[in-house]
Amino acid sequence: MKKLIMLAVFAIALTGSAFAQNMTTPKSSSADYKGIVAAIKEYDVAQHDEFEVATYTVNTIRVQGMWAFATVEPKLQGDGESLNYGVGHVFLKKSREN
């Protein structure tokens, strides 16, 4: 049992370090960055129309190959107050058409 747990911990450590080495952070002016934010907003608007006028604060965007991870905070302005929906954690896979 102890051997199995050690093997699992070792495998997780190797997997985590392998993924961390290849991840990049796109510049905010890059097409990848803008495309990721646009995809998040497009999804949110499809779920709720009021997100059409939301502003998004991007905390993190990381890209590895065809995959991206982002943390964003959508905020709506309405009736003199700001509605903060909290932090959203998003995983995206780039489609082959892009």
Is 8 part of a structural domain of the chain? Answer: no
Q: Which domain holds residue 49?
A: 24-93
Q: Which residue type, as a one-letter code, is found at position 2?
A: K
Name the burial class of residue 98, with classes exposed (0-12), middle (13-18) and buried (19+) by CB atoms within 10 angstroms of its CB. exposed
pLDDT in tens, 12-68: 655 655 555 588 999 999 999 999 999 999 998 998 888 888 888 899 999 998 899
Is 6 part of a structural domain of the chain? Answer: no
Is 1 part of a structural domain of the chain? Answer: no
Is 55 part of a structural domain of the chain? Answer: yes
What is the structure's pLDDT at 14?
A: 55
What is the structure's pLDDT at 25?
A: 93
Is 14 part of a structural domain of the chain? Answer: no
Is 79 part of a structural domain of the chain? Answer: yes
Number of domains in the chain: 1
| Confidence at 80, pLDDT banded by 50, 70, 90 | low
Is 42 part of a structural domain of the chain? Answer: yes
Q: Is the separation of the CB atoms in 25 and 62 below 8 Å?
A: yes
Q: Provide the whole-model pTM.
A: 0.69
